[in-house]
Amino acid sequence: MAEKSPATKLPNASRHELKIGPAAALARAALLLNCNAMPFYSRLGNIPAKRHIQFRRKDGALYSEEVFGTEGFVGPTSTLYHIHPPTQVSGWKTLYSCAAEFVETDTMRMRHLKSAAMPPRGDPITGRVVLFGNSDVEMAVCVPAEGMRYHYKNGVGDECIFIHHGNGTVWTSFGTLNFRAKDYILIPKGTTYRMAFDEPMDGDPPARFLVIESVNGSHIGPPKRYVSRTSSQFLEHAPYCERDLRLPQLPLTYDKKGSFEVRIKSRGMVHSYSYGYHPLDVVGWDGCYYPYIFNIDDFSPIVGKHHMPPPTHQTFDAHNFVICSFCPRPLDFHPQAVVVPYYHSNLDSDEVLYYVEGNYKARKGIEPASLTLHPQGIPHGPHPGTVEASLGATHTNELAVMCDTFRPLFPTRAALELDDAAYPKSWEGAAAPFAPVNGKAKAKSGGKAAKAAKPGRRAAVANGESDADTW
Ligand SMILES: [Fe+2]
C-alpha cells in the first residue's frame, strides 16, 4: 500500500520535511573521500539513524532501502529510501539505438562546426545530436523542440550538461535542481531524472545545451588536485568551492500511482521500463553520489603575469578527458606580455571548444555555438594578425567550454553537415605572425604596441579587450 504523504497537498508532489536544519544542510559534513565523482557528503529528506535498520512508513510498512554504489561499492555511494521496492517494474522493451556512428575515422584535420544552425528536434533526450566522440566520451548539442513525457536514466555514464540558453527544472531521485543559462548540470550515472525547460520570454533564444557524456564508465567531477586528500574540502587554490555548488533541494518525493515510463540508456540502446508508481518515490537519502549544478560565472579564473595554460581553467575531469571553462578575466600583466595563447601542439590530446558568448571577430568565422576540433599532433593558435592586434589588451570577454580528450575524437555524420570546410585554411597568410609595425620588426611593449599598431588593428584593443584569447 502506498504511503499517504502529507505533502500530497502540493500539486504533483509529496513533500517530506528535511530532518536536518538549514545550517546543518549547508555544512554537509565532509567525508574522508578522494574521488572525482562528488567531493562531499550530503543528505536530504528523512533517513533512519543507522544504515540497514528498520525504517517504517506511517502505515507501518518498511521503506525500501537502496544502496546506490559505484566501483563495486568502494567508490562514491548514496543510500536511498523508497516508498516502493525499486524492483517493481511491470514491463520492458527495447525502443531505439543510441549508438553513435562515427565517420571519417581515418581523417585528421581541424574542424569547425556551426551548430547555431541546428533546428529544434526531439526532447531533451531524443533531441541530443552527437557531434564528436570516441570510446571515452561523447559530445552532443541539443535544441529541444518538446518536453519529456517520461523519466530517463543513463546506465552508461555520467552526464555534464552545459546550458547555453534557457531556464528550467530537473526533477531527480535525489531532489529538484532549478537551472539557468551557463549552468553545468552534473548528473551521475544511474540517476533517474526528467528535465523541462520554461517557456522562453519574448526575445529570448530557444533552449540549447551541450552534453559531455562519459562512455567509459568513469565519473565526471572536480579534479582531485582541487580537493584535500585528508578532508575532501576544496583547497585554496581551487577556482571554485563548495559554496558554488547547488545541490538537490525539496521537493523530493512523489507518491503517485499510475503508469510511468522510465527510459534507460544501456548497451547502445534505449530501453523502456514501466512502473506502476511515480519513479521519484525517494523520501530521503544520504551519501556522496548525487547530481548538482555549478554555474560557469562562479568559476574564479586564475590569471598570471604571463599567459596561463589550459589546465589553469580546468573545471571537471573523468578518465581520459577534461572539461575547462574559459571565462571573462583580466589578461596577463607583464608589460611586454603577449596576451593571446602561443601556438601550441597538445601532443596527447584532441581539443574541442564550444563557444558560448563574447567577441570572436578576430577568429575567422567563429560564432556563438560554434565548435572547433583541433586534433593532437597539429599545432594551432591565434589566427593571422590577432597576436599583434591583441598587444595592450587588458581583459577578455570570451566565454567558452573546452573538452580535451586523450584519445582521438571522431565526427559523426551530423557533424559533417555542420562542417565549415574552409576552417583548416583559416591560418593561411600567417607567414609573418609578428608582423612588423610601422616597418620595424621589433616587439613593442604592451600599450605602446597597441598604439603603434595599424588603425584597423588598433580597434581590437580600443577598450582594452582582446577578442582572440580562447585556446
Ligand atoms: Fe588549443
Give 153-163 pLDDT, tens digit per residue. Answer: 999 999 999 99
DSSP state of 145: S
> What is the distance in A from the centroid of ligand 1 to the CA of 226?
22
Position with higher pLDDT, 469 vs 197: 197
Q: How far apart are CA 263 and CA 91, in angstroms?
A: 12
Flag whether pLDDT at 376 surpasses 50.
yes
User: Sheet harboring 175-179: ordered strands across?
Assistant: 89-97, 269-277, 257-266, 151-154, 192-197, 168-172, 175-179
pTM equals: 0.87
Number of H helices and E strands in the chain, helices first, is: 5, 28
Instruction: Find the 380 Cα to ligand 1 centroid distance in Å.
Output: 6
In the prediction, which pLDDT does 53 show? Answer: 98
Q: In what order do the strands lie in the sheet with 314-318?
A: 111-114, 370-374, 350-357, 399-405, 321-326, 314-318
- 449 has pLDDT over 60: no
pLDDT score for 383: 83
Distance 344 CA to ligand 1 centre (A): 7
- Positive or negative: CA dihedral 250, 252, 255, 260: positive
Instruction: Give per-residue pLDDT as tens, 68-81.
Output: 999 898 999 999 99
456 residue type, one letter? G
Lowest average pLDDT, out of 54-58, 69-73, 195-199, goes to: 69-73
User: Using an 8 Å Cβ cutoff, are 131 and 414 in contact?
Assistant: yes
The rounded distance, in Å, linking the Cα atoms of 117 and 68 is 40
Q: Which CATH number fits domain 297-425+444-466: 3.30.70.100, 1.10.357.10, 1.10.10.10, 2.60.120.10?
A: 2.60.120.10
Cα-to-centroid distance, 353 and ligand 1 (Å): 8
Which element (helix H / strand E) includes 25? helix 22-27
Percentage of the chain lying above the pLDDT 70 cut: 82
Model confidence over 415-447: pLDDT tens digits? 999 999 999 888 887 554 444 444 343 334 444
CA of 416 to the centre of ligand 1 (A): 21
- Show me where the domains of the chain are located: 297-425+444-466
Q: Please tell me the distance between residue 207's alpha carbon and the centre of ligand 1 in angstroms.
A: 28
**Residue with grid cell 533517513, as numbered in its chain:** 47
In whole numbers, what is the pLDDT of the chain averaged over residues? 86
Answer whether residue 290 shows pLDDT above 50. yes
pLDDT tops 50 at residue 197: yes
Average pLDDT over residues 342-347: 90
What is the structure's pLDDT at 295? 98
Instruction: Give the pLDDT of residue 165.
Output: 98
